Amino acid sequence: MKKAFAIVIVGLVILFGGIFGFKAFVNHMMHKAMSHAPAPVFSVSAAKVTGQAWHPEYRAVASLTALKGTAISTQIAGNVTAIHFHSGEEVHAGTLLVQIDNTNQLAQLATDQANLHLAAINLHRTRRLMATRAASQSQLDSAQAAFSADQAQVQNDRATLRKLAIRAPFTGHLGIRKVSLGQYLTPGTEIVDLQSWNPLHVDFTLPQSDLARLHVGTQMQFTSNATGNRVFQGTITALGSTVDSSTRQIQVQTTLSNPQDVLRPGMFGEALVIRHKLEHVVTVPASAISYNTFGDYVYVVHSENRNGRALQIATQQIVHPGENRDGQVAILSGLKAGEMVVTEGQGEFPGLHPILEQGAGGLLGRPGGLQEPRVPAGAHFHGQRGVGDGPPQVGPHVQLHQVPGPEPVVVFRIRGVVRGLLVRGEVRGEGRESPPGADVALHL
């Protein structure tokens, strides 16, 4: 029994020893092969930073409104006795649209006209008697007052009749009819919408920072997805008197012509305000910019001599991008015209100084070393190390890794990318602007 048990134990030891030994051998050979493998090579593209002259442009989402537009309604209650228009037609100013029942007002007008006629006769008679001193001055004044009162009453009747005959206040296009024959209308009931289509107002808002560069008469272009690629020209005709305190935007109103009536009030589109003054800017292809919460950056290519070899090295450079036009982005700060930037392939070398070489198929890149620290040289870190078996976590997305050696050295990473070395709490090497969240600390 004991002999069989010993044989089983020995067999298991030989079995597992062989498995783990083979695994160790495979790992050793893979490590040896990888240590002698050449550095990875990846394709990249580069382009020069160019200087261009741009007209300053300001873009905004805009809405169209009519210079003249209203909802036609009635001021006096009554039944609709006649409708003189069709939905969607164009009408001229003064065109009769709807007639409200006016039979009572016509009867009242006839009565008041008869009273006015009698008042005119009495006034004429009193004036003749006054000439022969057969009537007093007070009688003449009463006759004159009666005549004037009856005359005003007739005018009031005629004004009421005009309000019952609802007409177009200006030339424009009617919308959909909203009343029917015989319907009883109360004051304010909407009958139909009337809008003028040419010209039109374009209303939009711009940030208060653009206010100093906006002036009445500045040219503007309007485009809409409803009209394809057609561009409508207009000019700024008015600026708001105040800046909105909640949005810090200034109201802008422009006017454009709509000769073929292809635009409609209420449509939206894009307004483009163009200034005639040229501004000189440096631009790079949009693909060259890497956008990051710690700051937008590009990879700048420069020549460097290493061990007697002239190499092209790509280094990360913080930039402040501006306007994007036709795939070119204006750089407000961080670059100069004539510099070379990587436009494609930069995603292959985060955290490295890639070395760029001209290959048969174009520009090729390979890793060239650690990325320069993005924190100021000489900066000190104050705080606590992380707790646990993993790398210490200090601040958002920031890790500090202890490196064995004669003096305490820590590798400083942000989002897993090496950013520099800290020796006794001090950043070593030339650095650039400290990104948000990098002001972290470590007690060694």
CA distance 400 to 443: 11
pLDDT in tens, 371-422: 433 333 333 333 333 333 333 333 333 444 444 444 444 444 444 444 444 4
pLDDT grade, residue 41 (50/70/90)? low
Residues 256-272 have pLDDT tens digits of 998 888 999 999 999 99
Rounded Cα distance between 67 and 265, Å, is 9
Task: Report whether pLDDT(37) > 60.
Answer: no
Place of tokens 């005009």: 162
pLDDT bin (cut points 50, 70, 90) of residue 355 is low
The percentage of residues in the chain with a pLDDT greater than 70, rounded to a whole number, is 73
pTM of the entire predicted model: 0.57
State how far the alpha carbon of 280 is from the alpha carbons of 134, 277, 308, 329, 335, in Å.
96, 10, 39, 13, 14
Cβ–Cβ contacts within 10 Å for residue 62, how many?
Answer: 25
- Of 248-257, 279-288, 313-322, 403-412, the one with minimum mean pLDDT is 403-412
Residue 254 tokens read as 């422009």
Per-residue model confidence (pLDDT) at position 179: 93
Task: Report residue 255 CA to chain centroid gap.
Answer: 21
Backbone angles phi, psi at 223, to 5 degrees: -130, 150
Residue 412 · residue 402 · CB < 8 Å: no
Own/partner pairs, 153-160, CB within 8 angstroms, 24+ separation: 153/112, 153/115, 153/116, 154/109, 154/112, 154/113, 154/116, 157/105, 157/108, 157/109, 157/112, 158/109, 160/76, 160/102, 160/105
Q: For residues 22 and 53, what is the distance between their CA atoms, to the nearest angstrom?
A: 68
The one-character DSSP state at 395 is S
Identity (one letter) of the amino acid at 438? A
β-pair partners for 234: 220, 256
Q: Is the pLDDT of residue 31 over 90?
A: no
Tokens representing residue 66 in the block: 């009519």
CB-CB contact of 156 with 180 (8 Å):
no
Higher-pLDDT residue of 43 and 411 is 43
Average pLDDT rounded to a whole number, residues 1-14: 73
Q: Mapping DSSP to helix (H, G, I), strand (E, B) and coil, where does residue 368 land?
A: coil
Report residue 25 as tokens. 């051998």
Categorise residue 226: left if φ over 0, alpha if ψ from -120 to 50, beta otherwise.
Answer: alpha
Q: Give me the pLDDT at residue 428, please.
A: 42
pLDDT band at 105 (very low <50, low <70, confident <90, very high): very high
311: confidence class by pLDDT, cuts 50, 70, 90: low
Look at residue 373 in the predicted model and tell me its pLDDT.
35
Phi, psi torsion values for 263, nearest 5 degrees: -95, 155
Q: How far is CA 55 from the centre of its chain?
A: 20
Task: Give the three-class secondary structure for 361.
Answer: coil
435 pLDDT tier (thresholds 50, 70, 90): very low
Q: Which long-range contacts (CB under 8 A, 24 or more apart) does 317-322 make?
A: 317/432, 318/374, 318/432, 318/433, 319/289, 320/296, 321/289, 321/296, 322/281
Is the link from the previous residue into 199 a cis peptide, with omega within 30 of 0?
yes
pLDDT one-digit tens code per residue, 161-193: 999 999 999 999 999 999 999 999 999 999 999
Q: Per-residue pLDDT tens for 148-160?
A: 999 999 999 999 9
Q: Is the pLDDT of residue 365 over 70?
A: no
